[in-house]
Amino acid sequence: MLYVKDLLSFKSAISISLEVLSNYDNGLLREFLATIPSTVGRARLETTMEIEESLKSCMKEFKQTKTYHWLREDFKNALYDIEIQLNKKMVS
């Protein structure tokens, strides 16, 4: 389970990352993205270990692109919050 502070920013940021990483063909993340509502506010998202690993991998690759450096700050913050949660889970 992931706790998202800004659901719309998170969804937009992941959508942008998948668009930029066109060679990163992960249908699992695209399906997960489709289940996220486009609403403003906090939410808890039910996730599997596979989704969490895919998210972590996708964000790691995305952070190495020029697009990431030009990304809006609220989108970066949304990704950073999730990255922290995923890192804590992987260590536990």
| pLDDT 10s digits, 50-78 | 999 999 999 999 999 999 999 999 999 99
Range of the domain at 76: 2-91
Q: Print burial letters for 10-48: b (CB count within 10 Å at least 16), e (below 16).
A: bbbbbebbbebbeeeebeebeebbeebeeeeeeeebebe
Instruction: State the total domains in the chain.
Output: 1
75 phi, psi to nearest 5 deg: -70, -45
Whole-structure pTM value: 0.89
Quick one: average pLDDT of 10-31?
89
What type of residue sits at position 13?
Answer: A
Report the distance separating Cα 82 and Cα 10, nearest Å. Answer: 9
